[in-house]
Structure 1
């Protein structure tokens, strides 16, 4: 590998740490592409809030914070400084983790969006913005393969015979291994279109096509929508109003708080109903972007008309900032094997934004704020999806709403190509037997597909 130029660590930050509140977190702020002045400012800020900020990189570092670098850039810099690979336990993080930790007054949980974008994932994201689903899936598959490897790739020979690594992905990987960075990735990451699409699609209720139209009209950020008086629907208005909150992580503790609220609501309007926390939290993640719930009742048919009752209960307690309810439109005889398996399911559901009270101790923290929301706000906005499933479809719905998206895509591809079965969040149809398969659990679905059961914690593909 061609080494990158080394930079001396600035001595302007060489000041003793003040009282350290979090000795288990040792932070190194990388000066590369940041500059000594900004690094010195961030170091003083962190130390003033009780964080352990070290001046030089060492094996004791737990968190490396960087700005305007990819994960590959930082990893290469570290390897060049130490002469060896860094521990896989070191978190390579973007500046957003640092600023959110300053705001919280303590180290926040590390989630996917804090981690410096890997090259292939960034290209996958950009392909999504270009509405090129095939290319996006190809990059995400390649990235998943690399993540699953028990070693860090150092030569192209290590990639031989591995699946899902197309020519484009291999070309990017080869450039990174040889030069320490990818010109395509760098130009994409810094492009005006990529940054604008990322900001605009971050608005709740805004998809790629709408964001692309706005970009072509000259809009680049949420603030541009306000300045130009853009016409927005109800969802987009709510998304703009609560933009900062909805683009912050949701912690497991917050998800648990919402779970208690949902359980109380459902129990009040339909005793005996079952409620399951879904999505990334069911897969064992500590943070997520929203909170999903799947609701059913053991007596088939008792779940019909449940959602409006739940909504009325929540609205009566001023817990909803926004909600959109859709009815169950699935009919097995019409929506079964003839409909593509990757179509969005058609359960009764409510897309909502909850008004979640903050714990008293969390409302008085000082920090870095990028919005004009009240600094002492006693609540925050959280995206919550409520889904009601008939009991006969509950196992399929559980599998579908657990995710991850890529895992579900691969599982349905396996069902179709290897087993001639059509799998959706509603049903499993066997084309060989020309009949629907009835199951009571996820385990039975895996068995019918000829696979060993894969627990939710192993589905973060």
Structure 2
């Protein structure tokens, strides 16, 4: 029997993306609107941090003491203990007492351990020992938004309600809109013609594969029917990434993955709102896109000066979104500021990213990807005959242009792959193809290419199994035919990955698939198979042992790397999806 938790808002602070997604899956009453939550759950332990998070999410409160202090009177302590548990244990009907009314005004910020301990105990525990802060909402925030309808026919009503409020309230299930952090604005006038009503009555059936939450179980083409709408949503997601809105990024990613797998051209609001992971917010955005051909929020994001600077920094190779914000907060506004005021503080990789900023942004056509790959394979077989290679990344998924070149090399003789990454890099450097080596990892060879058992949630650097030998390099074709004195060929980013043959299928699968596909593949393995997957192997979450999915029943290894990849799909109980159907973004 499912535990009856109160409505919970999950703070993303101090949670990595995997932790955040796992917790979202476990919370049955999750809402993305902090104003409607009974409990605000977070990986925090201090009142000051709780107040910071409430201010950050624009929730004004007045503190209500809950009796932790030594100077609190017995009456205060009793009152505090009572109010702190009422939201959890009160079973009175909503209209049955004034107590229920007062509870809606209380905000309880609770440690994450309350939720995890409740799951372990198989009962909802009182919050007394987990309460970080308790406050009363200001009068302007006392009116909760209306409960959304769950019928597809009422999507228009839900969308307008969303536009007028912070978002729909979730009772007993996840809130269905993309995010509760979107800009509030005057609701669009949603018109529904007679022809649209007729069309809504004959909507195409939702494909069976869309009823799963795992995008690794869906065919997702590189050019879906609703690509133009998805591009607009992707722009909004990028802005959420730059501003650190993890919840928004995850919600938009899920909606985008669903829409990318939907095989029909969208025609109405109701058609969007019924899709898993979409709901009223995405339906409202679709209505706007249908009428104007764009999304106002995406357009505003593109013209936002702060976001423009963050995007500039984020596009530097070696700079993540958090570092981009750090640069901005230092007062830097362009690459010249970085060079003038912060060059010495940059890592070597970031310095190279700045130096070749413009060149790294130039897309690489498929023909050039193939030419670079052929040179790498030729050098590999000069060193040791018998190497096989698969071009992975966006190229293998069918993109016409790539941001970089990703290659997986392997050899049936395991001795051939040990320490091979150093030899191939030296060979290519001598031939003047590699101008800079950004990262060179030999962790796999250092442990004699032996599979490492997984040790629970341990995250110490270098102890995990996801440590394939790899070189991330800067590449430039040393040959040119023009009369220029300086090499005019653009510098390219190339990743060379070396995998032992016994796990080459995992390497090819991991490095080929889209970001959301990879994320959901890890979730699927964890939730459905009690396994841990990454590009360097599959391990049991029960005893930590390595699981060999690539050797057949007769003990024979796969004859090639693509066969090995198919065996991984089969071993995980998944239908094989060709690379062109893994374009989840």
User: Scaled by the length of structure 1, what TM-score is found?
Assistant: 0.66
- What secondary structure sits across from 1:423 in the alignment? strand
Q: CA RMSD in A?
A: 3.0
Gaps spanning 5+ residues in structure 1: where?
1-109, 365-373
1:205 maps to 318
1:200-239 to 2 correspondences below 5 Å: 200-228=313-341, 230-231=343-344, 232-239=346-353
- CA deviations on 1:173-197 (whole Å, 9 max, x unpaired) are 3444466554433332211222111
Deviation at 1:382, TM superposition (A): 0.5
Q: Measure the CA separation in 1 of the matches of 2:545 and 2:261.
A: 36
Q: Does residue 328 of structure 1 match 2:440?
A: no
1:76-115 to 2 correspondences below 5 Å: none
Deviation at 1:435, TM superposition (A): 4.8
Contact 2:411 2:501 in 1 (8 A): yes
User: Scaled by the length of structure 2, what TM-score is found?
Assistant: 0.53
Q: Measure the CA separation in 2 of the matches of 1:385 and 1:115.
A: 30
Equivalent in 422, 432, 439 of residue 308 of structure 1: 422
- What secondary structure sits across from 2:497 in the alignment? strand
2:235 maps to 122
Q: Measure the CA separation in 2 of the matches of 1:405 and 1:447.
A: 21
Q: Does residue 447 of structure 1 match 2:570?
A: yes
**Taking structure 1 as reference, are residues 159 and 166 closer, same or farther at Cα in structure 2, changes over 3 Å only?**
closer
Deviation at 1:402, TM superposition (A): 0.8
Contact 1:393 1:427 in 2 (8 A): yes
Equivalent in 230, 249, 252 of residue 363 of structure 2: 249
- What secondary structure sits across from 1:301 in the alignment? helix
Contact 2:454 2:544 in 1 (8 A): no
1:44-59 to 2 correspondences below 5 Å: none
Equivalent in 466, 473, 479 of residue 345 of structure 1: 466
1:83 maps to none
**Taking structure 1 as reference, are residues 253 and 332 closer, same or farther at Cα in structure 2, changes over 3 Å only?**
same
- CA deviations on 1:24-49 (whole Å, 9 max, x unpaired) are xxxxxxxxxxxxxxxxxxxxxxxxxx
| Alignment: residue pair count | 336
- CA deviations on 1:259-311 (whole Å, 9 max, x unpaired) are 12101221122222222211111222221100011112212233111111111
Q: Does residue 274 of structure 1 match 2:384?
A: no
1:399 maps to 509
Equivalent in 410, 419, 427 of residue 537 of structure 2: 427
Q: Measure the CA separation in 2 of the matches of 1:171 and 1:312.
A: 55
Show structure 1 runs of 4+ deviating over 6 A: 114-117
- Between 142-151 and 185-194, report the one with greater CA deviation: 142-151
- What secondary structure sits across from 2:470 in the alignment? strand
Gaps spanning 5+ residues in structure 2: where?
1-222, 551-563
Deviation at 1:221, TM superposition (A): 2.3
Contact 2:257 2:516 in 1 (8 A): no
- Between 397-406 and 279-288, report the one with greater CA deviation: 279-288
Q: Measure the CA separation in 1 of the matches of 2:382 and 2:432.
A: 16
Q: Measure the CA separation in 1 of the matches of 2:313 and 2:228.
A: 21
